[in-house]
Structure 1
Amino acid sequence: MVQSTRMMNRGAVLAEVFRLAPASRKQIAEATGISTATVTRAVDSLIEEGLLLEGSEIVSENRGRRAVLLDVVAGRSYVLGIDLGASNTRIIVADLLANPILALDEPTPSDLNAPELAEWLATEVRSAAGSNWPLVGAVCLGLPGAVNRTNRSISNAHHLTQVEDSRFLQRFQAAVQKVVMIDNDANLALLGEQRFGAARTSPTAAILTLGTGLGAGIAIEGKVLQGERGLVGEFGQLPVGPLGTKLEHMLTGPGILRRAAEAGVELHSPAELFAENDKGGIETLRAHFDHALLIALTAITVSCEPNIIVLGGGIAKSLTSSLHRYESALEHNLRMSPRLLPAALGDFSGALGAVVASLHAVYSDLGMQQESLADLPVSQTLTPEAIRRVQGGRSAPRPFQPEPIIR
């Protein structure tokens, strides 16, 4: 019992330093309700472990006393957040305080088979971490499909089916030689927007991503819902169109182009659907899109009554000026409407959410209690501006030579 209490105090002190740093022992004691003597013992132990360091002195309490400020050794460990998409792959390397070290935005070589794609991704990840690779404490991978939490299988990844092959995850984990956490990319995008983006003020929120595929994530009271089989939020599977056409096929880029071709309307890109033009049939196509999007937004609203729905993905960028119309339609139909906001983190929402998940895993391994992780990391360094400053992506994927597959 003594050992358990000591470890709980240690975890509480560590979490508070991460929350307040730089901070004095007295500030930590006041914030945690733990005695100064107990805080001092925990701090001394954490300094010895190389987790904390003593910095500058400050005058405190108007009595001329000096207090030593404590800070986190941010470079003691690093994490990787990965968002593997059908079109692009985004990777962020961050330290213990969520300071971004490097960000990559690479075209995904979707023509590779499952083992080859895994090897390519492992090469990119290890290269991104560089000399810090031995210090990487956690890796989180966002995938465009439903993630089964029981057996870690992937389904419904229609635009990147290689990840459904069990060899993909096996080969990737073997190549990086680290435990890899996985989740649906929309779930991680919502986590990123709740910690650093548009949904920061809303514990109950949702995200709808519209791009090559359709994804959705739901959070209630700050917890992103996953489901045992990962099907929570898979609204794209709803059969809402003629002859059971799935919602995803009416709202995604490939779906828009396919429906335009069927209607005899020439569109060179999905973005043309939302531009002002006089192409014959465009108004009908846009009306069908708007109706399908309203179905998706209604389904999300009645499922959890979110205060905010964040819209992300390439197609969502074309909808910013129309969000008030969708809010009005929801208000008319449901007598209430969540706020509809564009993703504040842009294309890196999913990778940033994966960073948060990775950091939580590291924090837990360091002894912080689960209930203390909800507002961590508190750093505001993971902003789009900071990501741009450390971004080192290339315009084309590096040549990849797959290793022979042993059968």
Structure 2
Amino acid sequence: MTGNPTSRDYNKASVLDVLLSRAPLTRNEVIEFTGLSKATVSRAVEDLRADGCVVDGGVDELTGRGRRSTYLDVPGALGHVAGISFGMQTTCVLVSDLRGREIRHITVPTMDHQEVRSAAEWLIGLMAEAAETAEGPLRQVVAAVPGRVRGGTEVFGPRESMKVFAGSALQRELTGLVSAPVLLDSDANASLLGILVENAALRNAALFSLSSILNFAGCTERELLRGRTPSFGDIGVLFSGVGDEPLEEVLSTGGLLRFARGRGLDLERIEDLWLQPHDEVARSEVLDSFTTALVTAVSAVAVTLDPESVFCVGRLRPLIEEVLPEVRRRLDKSLPTVPEVKVAPQVLGLSVARGAMHASLGLVGDRLRDAVLEARRQGHRADQPSPAF
């Protein structure tokens, strides 16, 4: 007999949501987080246990009188996910269980790939190495790239050295090599998602990734903003306020390197701008232009999206930290309401991979919830547990 999901199904899904996001938990904690009755939680837990979605995870310490409570946990055998940061200089692959507990991460220099197939095979090899001790099947892969991404499959606007990855070939090749769904996302989106996970109070925010390219991400009510066209997020084409330069040419590593050399600074790499001594006049001119461009970018986002916070990440972080007081001063003079502008602490490669991992977990959690609610339409009885997938 088939039908629509029942209240029992929705209760079961609610308990699963809480366990996936917070386990290990005692039954009393599950009751507190879901607002469901003791009997309802017990029934849902037993259903989920029969599905293989819940196991006992130890016993809490006895404090005062009464019986100790058994922790409920999500078993490793339910599966694992992978988050990949595929950058121009550094690649990081992180594998976690479905509770988001890291199993292993691997960070290596990015190899120079001339073919999409070889790059995909290399990434899958790193993922297999990171997942050697993982239990259960691979459930989802999200790979974050330095470019704009539409629909989880198509890459737009990568730097010249990564032009081979423009389009959907990378997603297709990765999908063909693993028995799990694979989606692409921008490194900026992954960075912002990682920040949202760490800060539950943050609602509306924007993020600029100032690295090989200038990339942008935003969220409203904690939902990442995704445009209908590939042009969404291409803030680098906007006028920077510095000569005839667009933002991309002042707020990316390659662009700023060219800009600084054009102002007489002898730089081998962009890091020399803050690691080596230089002519003070020429360096001050470059820093002033960088400050102007950053103020322009933040102002454009502030008046269109009204974020409470604007985060800056990427390889140009040391320079951002140097000019940030002046950026704030100029914004205070030009905007009636100024968002909090700050540099987000990040670990090269790993922070983006962690955000991609959280994106994977969100997708798997949605599928698990859908499986619980769709079981009724597949002919399961109310007293019959349904498979998780």
The verdict on a shared fold, with TM-score over 0.5 as the criterion, is yes
Is contact 2:241–2:292 with CA below 8 Å preserved after alignment? no
Indicate yes or no: 2:96 matched with 1:94.
yes
Task: Spell out, residue by residue over 1:263-316, the C-alpha distance to the aligned partner (whole angstroms, 9 max, x if none).
Answer: 332122223334663255222222222111111111121221212111111111
**Aligned-pair CA distance for 1:230:** 4.4
Is contact 2:77–2:136 with CA below 8 Å preserved after alignment? no
**Aligned-pair CA distance for 1:140:** 0.5
Q: Tell me how far apart the structure 1 counterparts of residues 177 and 192 of structure 2 sit (CA, whole Å).
A: 28
Q: Give the letter aligned to residue 261 of structure 1.
A: R
Task: Spell out, residue by residue over 1:366-407, the C-alpha distance to the aligned partner (whole angstroms, 9 max, x if none).
Answer: 22799xxxxxxxxxxxxxxxxxxxxxxxxxxxxxxxxxxxxx
Tell me: CA distance 1:84–1:133, structure 2 relative to 1, closer, same or farther (3 Å).
farther
Residue correspondence of structure 1 range 111-130 to structure 2 within 5 A: 111-130=113-132
Task: Spell out, residue by residue over 1:124-162, the C-alpha distance to the aligned partner (whole angstroms, 9 max, x if none).
Answer: 22222225386221111112222122x832211124212
Match of 1:250 in 2: 250
Tell me: CA distance 1:296–1:34, structure 2 relative to 1, closer, same or farther (3 Å).
same
Tell me: CA distance 1:59–1:244, structure 2 relative to 1, closer, same or farther (3 Å).
closer
Indicate yes or no: 2:24 matched with 1:34.
no
Task: Spell out, residue by residue over 1:85-117, the C-alpha distance to the aligned partner (whole angstroms, 9 max, x if none).
Answer: 122112111112211121222222234222222
* TM-score of the superposed pair, with normalisation by structure 1: 0.81
Match of 1:296 in 2: 297
Q: Tell me how far apart the structure 1 counterparts of residues 158 and 284 of structure 2 sit (CA, whole Å).
A: 31
Match of 2:238 in 1: 238
**Aligned-pair CA distance for 1:342:** 1.7
Q: Give the letter aligned to residue 64 of structure 1.
A: G
Is contact 1:114–1:165 with CA below 8 Å preserved after alignment? no
Is contact 1:265–1:279 with CA below 8 Å preserved after alignment? no
Match of 1:382 in 2: none
**Aligned-pair CA distance for 1:217:** 0.6
Match of 2:134 in 1: 132
Match of 1:109 in 2: 111
* Residue range with higher mean Cα deviation, 59-68 or 242-251: 59-68
Q: Give the letter aligned to residue 146 of structure 1.
A: R
Q: Tell me how far apart the structure 1 counterparts of residues 300 and 53 of structure 2 sit (CA, whole Å).
A: 46
Q: Tell me how far apart the structure 1 counterparts of residues 110 and 149 of structure 2 sit (CA, whole Å).
A: 20
**Aligned with 2:165 (options 163, 166, 169):** 163
Give the secondary-structure state (helix, strand or coil) at the position aligned to 1:352.
helix
Is contact 1:210–1:251 with CA below 8 Å preserved after alignment? yes
Identical columns (%) = 28
**Aligned-pair CA distance for 1:241:** 6.1
Q: Tell me how far apart the structure 1 counterparts of residues 138 and 324 of structure 2 sit (CA, whole Å).
A: 40
Q: Tell me how far apart the structure 2 counterparts of residues 128 and 169 of structure 1 sit (CA, whole Å).
A: 20
Q: Tell me how far apart the structure 2 counterparts of residues 358 and 336 of structure 1 sit (CA, whole Å).
A: 35
Match of 1:259 in 2: 259
Tell me: CA distance 1:168–1:55, structure 2 relative to 1, closer, same or farther (3 Å).
closer
Indicate yes or no: 2:96 matched with 1:84.
no
Report how many residues are paired.
367
Match of 2:332 in 1: 331
Q: Flag structure 1 segments of 5+ consecutive residues without an equivalent.
A: 371-407
Match of 1:214 in 2: 214
Q: Give the letter aligned to residue 279 of structure 2.
A: D
Match of 1:43 in 2: 45
Tell me: CA distance 1:66–1:145, structure 2 relative to 1, closer, same or farther (3 Å).
closer
Match of 1:402 in 2: none
Give the secondary-structure state (helix, strand or coil) at the position aligned to 2:356.
helix
Q: Tell me how far apart the structure 2 counterparts of residues 65 and 108 of structure 1 sit (CA, whole Å).
A: 53
Task: Spell out, residue by residue over 1:33-92, the C-alpha distance to the aligned partner (whole angstroms, 9 max, x if none).
Answer: 333222212111212222212245569998735543322224532111111112211211
**Aligned-pair CA distance for 1:231:** 3.5
Q: Give the letter aligned to residue 296 of structure 2.
A: I
Residue correspondence of structure 1 range 177-196 to structure 2 within 5 A: 177-196=179-198
Q: Tell me how far apart the structure 2 counterparts of residues 2 and 119 of structure 1 sit (CA, whole Å).
A: 43
Match of 1:345 in 2: 346
**Aligned-pair CA distance for 1:239:** 3.8
Tell me: CA distance 1:56–1:79, structure 2 relative to 1, closer, same or farther (3 Å).
closer
* Residue range with higher mean Cα deviation, 50-59 or 293-302: 50-59
Residue correspondence of structure 1 range 382-397 to structure 2 within 5 A: none
Match of 1:316 in 2: 317
Q: Tell me how far apart the structure 2 counterparts of residues 213 and 122 of structure 1 sit (CA, whole Å).
A: 25
Tell me: CA distance 1:256–1:122, structure 2 relative to 1, closer, same or farther (3 Å).
same
Task: Spell out, residue by residue over 1:159-199, the C-alpha distance to the aligned partner (whole angstroms, 9 max, x if none).
Answer: 42121143322222112232102211101110011112xx5
Tell me: CA distance 1:103–1:328, structure 2 relative to 1, closer, same or farther (3 Å).
same
Tell me: CA distance 1:132–1:67, structure 2 relative to 1, closer, same or farther (3 Å).
closer
Tell me: CA distance 1:280–1:318, structure 2 relative to 1, closer, same or farther (3 Å).
closer
Match of 1:147 in 2: 149
CA RMSD of aligned residues (A): 2.8
Q: Tell me how far apart the structure 1 counterparts of residues 7 and 216 of structure 2 sit (CA, whole Å).
A: 40
Q: Tell me how far apart the structure 2 counterparts of residues 244 and 69 of structure 1 sit (CA, whole Å).
A: 62
Q: Tell me how far apart the structure 2 counterparts of residues 57 and 242 of structure 1 sit (CA, whole Å).
A: 62
Residue correspondence of structure 1 range 263-278 to structure 2 within 5 A: 263-274=263-274, 277-278=278-279
Tell me: CA distance 1:369–1:272, structure 2 relative to 1, closer, same or farther (3 Å).
farther
Tell me: CA distance 1:62–1:103, structure 2 relative to 1, closer, same or farther (3 Å).
closer
Task: Spell out, residue by residue over 1:294-340, the C-alpha distance to the aligned partner (whole angstroms, 9 max, x if none).
Answer: 11111121221212111111111332243222112111110332222
